[in-house]
Amino acid sequence: MVGYQLSTLLSLLGEDERHALQREWKVSVNGATAPLEARMSDEGELRARFALLPELSRDILRRVLERDDACVPYRDLVQARAARAAIEVEREVQALERSGLLFRVEDNRVERLDEPLLAVPHEVAELFARWVGDGNQEDETSRGREREGGSGLKDAPPCAWIPVLSEPAALTLKGWLEERHFAKPAAGPDGGADRAKQHARQAYKLFLQPVAIEKRIGRLAPELRELVDVATRRFGGFLPRSAWVATHGDAELFDQEDTAKVLGDALLGRFVRFDLARYGIHGDDVCFVVFQDVTLVRLREHAARHNVLPADEHVAGVDLATNLMRYLRYVDENGVRFTVRGEIFQATKKRMVSQLVAEEASADDVDAVFDFVDRFARKRHLIDATGERTLRLSEAGRGFEAQGLEDKLRDLLAFAIEDVHGSGGDPFHQKRLRRIVVRLLRRLEPERWYDAMHVPFLARNAYVAQMDELGVREHFDRERREGRFVMREDLKKLAWHLFDWLRRRLHPLGIVDLGFDQGHPVALRLSRIGATLLQGSPAQAAEGARSTLVVNPDFEVLLFPDSDVWPLVHKLDRFAKRLSSDRLYRFLLCEESLRSALADGMGLGQILEVLTLRCRTPLPQNVRFNLEDWAARAGALRLTNGGRILATKSEVLHRVLAHKRVREVCVGDEDDLRLGPSMGAVEFRSLLRDLGYFLELPATDDEAARSSSEGENTDEGDAGGASKHG
């Protein structure tokens, strides 16, 4: 056999696998592999990645590199590692595959065809061969490079004074004090130990005061202050030795026991080697940990003193809720067919995607939004599949359309927390981290910018400190016993996967806004709609501020936004086409959009109230006339609290009475038509919908009270212009 070139191995990958590898190596996700090949052949990048590998992964690479062709049958590798369980070997092989350092290929020259061949790319193997010894001793060349000051890829052996940490509680200042003081019996008369513990616990609160923390940091040597700052602000409190070497060139501070003593005595942090495998988290690199409660205080104080001002702001608003409504509307108005696998045909999907609001989003982001909306609609049973392989709007879907904006967003948020489709990382970790993120967002000051990783770092740290209480170890012990355990996360990935969820889920939901600088996300803030949703009270820029409208005779609607803009945008999205969303919003009224709103359950009276109560100028008469005419052509009717059926034009009542079933359940004639006692209002609305008419039901007591507070009139002669004849 001969070795495999990197280009050959990349060509064997499927499109999804190649895209995953491009994201892993941080190159553009497209069809070209040349940038990926260049990145994966870069010596500096490979050195940094190898330094982060756990020992078992390094040992696997050594076994493969023992062969001249850098290829080994999978069975031989497992037999060579007999001391390790096969599940552990498979776990590390999968991790190496995800990083592109190892490939699984089929080669007909392997003895058994049903066993894959593991191969290290030829270009990578040549570089690794210079760095990787046999695992027991270093060769003279390697020692010579270290004497000459070379950094060498192979990590220095762990210092004996650095403890192996397997209990997350020891990552906090409180845990550190308990380890050093609370657990030690004090000498002296009876009660001395209790007094010592009480004194230490009282002192703990003083040690966490922001002023006290900064004073302790200020007394450190400059290089130690920089170490603490880098660990806190750039890495969220967990600074691996390899990351420090990559950015600062040497690991002298990590190798000195005096450094650890100074930082420990200053009650700021400690050096550890993590062993959190029982919690489903891997990584055996030496790490400097700033105590998590200290990190929390420092990050909050930094955010309070420094207001980040990004160059470019991305505000999603209520676009996701609008896109969900457009998805449901399209299903209701068109025959959406699906394949035998349950997927919407690509041609239909493209037409549906073209209906979505996506002014600043890329094509990939728009597709991701559509897929999320599609999963939500199916999981919540808002759409049903028919026997003819088409989708239709369900009764639950019609009920969802009638919900208020906040209720819709809460449903979407709950689904986003549980939805793990296409998300990175271990679902068990990520779901719990997401719930912590939502709790942390409630505590943020609305409309204030924070560093992009502020919330993900705090959530990751809080989760790690609470893993025992959350039953994490018990879960992964059970997974390991049942043979399902695959370790996917390290401390860095926990935070970055969480930020990716914030960007791909909470931002489209409008809960957080993102700030960009040169195309990279650098800041986030809790939006107004997010504050209303999570904190329970609107974050208004000014008391009593309200958005206003201008309705032009050419049916264009201009919205001048203020603090209450999003509920109004969502209402307008239901019965008008959005044209643009810049400093002001532009909409267009048309017969098609009005008919869709009537099908969604909005009444003409509601639509006219929105346009008149918020309008700076009187509603043009031609606009009102056309809206009433379009509603009549669509078959709009209204049911009053007294059971009377009204329409804007008498011809609508004449048409509806032509149906025998309507005459059976109604009493009276066109002059005074009422719903009889044999059928309820909801059933009657469903009957009319099947016949092509749209009935607006009377408001319930709660809805009437709410509408009254907004200035709506529910009397028979309301702003909808509905009367017995029109």
Least confident range from 37-46, 186-195, 280-289, 456-465: namely 186-195
pLDDT at residue 43 is higher than 60: yes
In 3D space, the residue among 387, 411, 413, 416 whose CA is nearest the CA of residue 399 turns out to be 411
Q: How many Å is the Cα radius of gyration of the chain?
A: 32
pLDDT in tens, 445-489: 888 899 999 999 999 988 988 888 888 888 888 887 777 766 677
Stretch 128-151: mean pLDDT, rounded?
42
183: left (phi over 0), alpha (psi -120 to 50) or beta: alpha
**Confidence band for 86, pLDDT divided at 50, 70 and 90:** low
What pLDDT is attached to residue 282? Answer: 76
Task: Output the CA angle 272-131-492, nearest 5 degrees.
Answer: 35
pLDDT at 147 over 50: no
Q: Range with the lowest mean pLDDT among 120-134, 259-273, 276-290?
A: 120-134
pLDDT tens digits, 483-538: 776 667 788 888 999 999 999 899 999 999 999 988 888 999 998 888 888 876 55
What is the strand order of the sheet 645-646 is part of? 645-646, 636-639, 694-696
pLDDT of residue 227: 92
36 pLDDT exceeds 80? yes
Q: Which of the residue ranges 102-116, 220-234, 329-343, 362-376 has the most confident prediction, judged by mean pLDDT? A: 220-234
Share of the chain above pLDDT 90, in %: 14
The model's confidence at residue 160, banded by pLDDT at 50, 70 and 90, is low
The pLDDT value recorded for residue 478 is 85
Mean pLDDT, residues 249-254: 78
Please report, rounded to a whole number, the percentage of residues in the chain having pLDDT higher than 70. 82
H or E stretch including 169? none
Single pTM value for the model: 0.68
Dump strand ranges (E) for 139-204. Answer: 164-165
Can you tell me the mean pLDDT for 428-433?
92
- Sign, CA dihedral 49-52-55-56, equals negative
Tokens 């979407």 map to which residue? Answer: 412
Q: Cβ neighbours of residue 146 under 8 Å, at least 6 residues apart?
A: 152
Is the per-residue pLDDT at 122 higher than 70? yes
Residues 659-678, mean pLDDT to the nearest whole number:
86
Rank 12-16, 264-268, 578-582, 705-709 by mean pLDDT and report only the highest: 264-268
Across 209-218, 398-407, 624-633, least confident range: 398-407
Q: Is the pLDDT of residue 710 over 80?
A: no
Among 27-36, 155-164, 431-440, the range scoring the smallest mean pLDDT is 155-164
Alpha-carbon gap, residue 591 to 575, rounded angstroms: 9
Continuous H helices in 580-695:
591-600, 604-613, 621-634, 650-656, 660-665, 681-690
The model's confidence at residue 701, banded by pLDDT at 50, 70 and 90, is: very low
Q: What pLDDT is attached to residue 196?
A: 62
In this prediction, residue 524 carries a pLDDT of 92
- The long-range contacts involving 96-104, CB below 8 angstroms and separated by at least 24 positions, are 96/57, 96/60, 96/61, 98/20, 98/21, 98/24, 99/24, 99/49, 100/21, 100/24, 100/25, 100/40, 101/49, 101/50, 101/61, 102/60, 102/61, 102/64, 103/4, 103/9, 103/12, 104/74
- What does the pLDDT read at residue 131? 61
Q: What Å distances lie between residue 345 and 330, 339, 342, 391, CA to CA?
A: 14, 6, 9, 12
- The token duo for 604 is 């003409």
Which alpha helices (DSSP H) does 136-191 contain, by range? Answer: 140-147, 173-177
- Candidates 167, 510, 196; CA nearest to 323 is 510
Query: How far, in whole angstroms, is CA 105 from its chain's centroid?
Result: 34
Q: What is the mean pLDDT of the chain?
A: 79
CB atoms within 10 A of CB 558: 15
Segment 221-229 long-range contacts (CB within 8 Å, at least 24 positions apart): 221/262, 223/253, 224/253, 224/259, 224/262, 224/263, 227/253, 227/263, 227/288, 228/263, 228/268, 228/269, 228/290
Three-state helix/strand/coil letters over 468-487 = CCCCHHHHHHHHHHCCCCCC
Residues in contact with 481: Cβ distance below 8 Å, sequence separation at least 6, in sequence order: none
pLDDT of residue 381: 92
DSSP E strands, 394-451: 450-451
Task: Return the amino acid letter for 202.
Answer: Q
Least confident of 18-22, 52-56, 439-443, 652-656: 52-56
Rounded-to-integer distance, Cα 218 and Cα 204, Å = 19
pLDDT of residue 270 exceeding 70, the answer is yes
Which of 103, 127, 114 is closest to 43 using CA atoms? 127
**Other beta carbons within 10 Å of 161:** 11
* Residue, of 536 and 388, whose pLDDT is higher: 388
Nearest to 486 by CA among 281, 629, 311: 281
Q: For the residues 196-224, what does the mean pLDDT come to?
A: 83
pLDDT at position 542 = 39
Could you read off the pLDDT of 293-352 as tens digits, one per residue? 899 899 888 888 877 788 888 888 888 898 998 899 888 888 788 888 888 998 998 988
pLDDT of 435 over the 90 cut: yes
Strands 694-696, 636-639: pairing kind: parallel
> What per-residue confidence (pLDDT) applies to 81?
55
Task: Please name which of 66, 73, 100, 68 lies closest in space to residue 2, comparing C-alpha atoms.
Answer: 68
Average pLDDT over residues 201-213: 84
